[in-house]
Chain A
Amino acid sequence: MSAENLKSIENAIVEALKIAETRLPADVLAALKKAYEEEDSALAKTQLRAILKNVELSEKHSLPMCQDTGLHTFFVEVGVSSDINPITMIQIIKNAVVRATKEIPLRPNTVNPFTGENPGDNTGRYVPYISFDFVEDSKTRIMIMPKGGGSENAAALGMLSPGLGLKGVRNFVLEHLAKVADKACPPITVGIGIGGGADLCMKLAKKSLLRPIGVRHSDNAIAKFEEEMLDAINNLGIGAMGVGGKITALDVHVEWAHRHPASLPVGVVVQCWAARRATVIIDESMNVKIEGL
């Protein structure tokens, strides 16, 4: 990779961060508009109206839509034929986050849990968190997910008895969300990871939030489970911002891995109404493209 290539990738990541922080993807915006139309509760409608107005203003003025500009998770899928060096990639991503923090600007959100020290540029020990997967593709995808603290605090891990089966998964998710969804800035998107282990189910749940709203799992049985979960969560009646109403979630995404015979791990990760994301795609000739809206 030439220095020029590296610079153009870094620039694209800064630009993608800006798009993610200031503009909602079309599927999310459409889902919020639909929620506004379908909601009957006047109080919930007031909240949805404020959200839509806010999104319009942030796009128009190119400002972060929420003051909690989040911690940044990068899911990188490295194409096998790519000659990008992962160590270089980590450095480029960190540089881009530092620049984006200054240029957009973003709120400095990285705090040392022992000393309270904040480096001020959204980087620090293990953050931004970068997850690498290797895929049979000529392209490399850098998927960016800024995520606020309020929604991250609504995450949960359940290590269920396998005998409880999918009903157990359903009840665990509903019982958890009934308690916390009102604090995660609903209407939320819910990611559910089933199987693997404690770490993998959480990661699958979070990564599933990158899937656009309305896109079902490719396996029909899982797609049906997603739809049933969406209906059940909305039937709880939590509503936008927890004021009561019929739209609590915009979508539910499920991912899975094989599990240990003795374990049924369930990860729940929640995204707030500001379901922000953007992707930088690098092809085999080092052409760089941003996919954000």
Chain B
Amino acid sequence: MQYRMRTPIRDVRMLKVGDEVYVDGEIFTARDEAHKKMMESKEIPFDPSAMPLFHCGPVVKRVDGRWEVIAAGPTTSARMEIFEDKFIEKFKIKMIIGKGGMGERTLKALREHGAVYAMFTGGAGVLAARSIKRVKEVYWLEELGMPEAVWIFEVENFGPLVITMDSHGNSLHRDVRNRVMDRLKGMVAEHEG
């Protein structure tokens, strides 16, 4: 199935592994440091609950007093596995956008909180930047630096996003990994015999 969704995104239970999604509206970036920062902060200066969380450290440039996004593809999501279940719970995240997939802890949290994980093609930084129409805000830029700061982007037709982990306990990453491990076993055994 293909979906075009506008933020605020409140319900994603109809999305299933393999669905393709394009997003309009606002998304926010957070990588390792921003996750830490947001988990430790009592108050944060924006409402993350209705926005997709984008694992991304963009290249941005200041042009005539405004931010221009040069490249903004996803970063490896697995690094955020140590925070993500608590992050989803604390900020009521409904959609995570990243690459490479996440683990069992996150999958469990997606199920408990009715959220999904969507993959954007890794490294496709220019393609992603083309759908980012404007930088609405940036937080903790001085403190965390360009890649680690929280950027709020206004996006149009942001995608293709492929749902690879849904709110029903399905994970394409887990399925592929199991298949790969099975094949590996055969290939290594063949040579040890």
Contacts and interface: CB of A to CB of B under 8 A. Distances in A.
Interface of A: 43, 46-47, 50-51, 53-54, 57-58, 61, 63-69, 105-109, 111, 116, 118, 120, 148-150, 153, 167, 170-171, 174-175, 178, 182-183, 185, 232, 235-239, 241-244, 272-274
A50 B176 contact: no
A238 B193 CA distance: 25
A237 B188 contact: no
Interface of B: 18, 20, 33, 56-59, 61, 70-73, 75-76, 78, 99-101, 119, 121-130, 145-147, 160, 162, 164, 172-173, 175-177, 179-181, 183-184, 187-188, 191-192
B172 A67 contact: no
B177 to A, nearest CB: 7
Q: Which 4 A-B pairs have the closest CB atoms?
A: A50-B121, A67-B125, A67-B71, A54-B124
Given A67-B56, A67-B57, A244 B172 contact: yes
Contact of B121 (A69, A106, A171, A241): A241
A243 B123 CA distance: 15
13 contacts: A46-B160, A58-B125, A61-B126, A66-B123, A67-B57, A67-B71, A68-B125, A105-B59, A108-B147, A178-B181, A182-B177, A232-B187, A238-B176
B35 to A, nearest CB: 15
Contacts of A105: 59, 61, 70
Nearest to B130: A57
A65 B57 CA distance: 14
Contacts of A183: 76, 78, 99-100
A171 B147 CA distance: 36
A250 B172 CA distance: 23
A150 B98 CA distance: 12
Contacts of B119: 241, 243
Nearest to B77: A183
A43 B162 contact: yes
Contact of A64 (B59, B99, B127): B59
Tell me what chain B mostly uses at the interface: helix, strand, loop, or mixed: mixed
A106 B172 CA distance: 33
Contacts of B122: 150, 185, 241, 272
A53 B127 contact: yes
Contacts of A243: 119, 162, 164, 172, 176
Contacts of A58: 71, 125-126
A178 B127 contact: no
B164 to A, nearest CB: 7
A148 B101 contact: no
A63 B71 contact: yes
Given A53-B127, A67-B129, A150-B122, 16 more contacts: A50-B160, A54-B126, A57-B127, A58-B71, A66-B125, A68-B125, A105-B61, A106-B59, A108-B145, A153-B76, A171-B192, A178-B181, A182-B101, A232-B187, A237-B179, A238-B176
Given A178-B181, A235-B187, A50 B127 contact: yes
A103 to B, nearest CB: 10
A32 to B, nearest CB: 11
B183 A67 contact: no
A63 B181 contact: no
B176 A244 contact: yes
A237 B180 contact: yes
A288 B146 CA distance: 34
B99 A185 contact: yes
Contacts of B180: 178, 236-238
A175 B61 contact: no
A243 B164 CA distance: 8
B126 A57 contact: yes
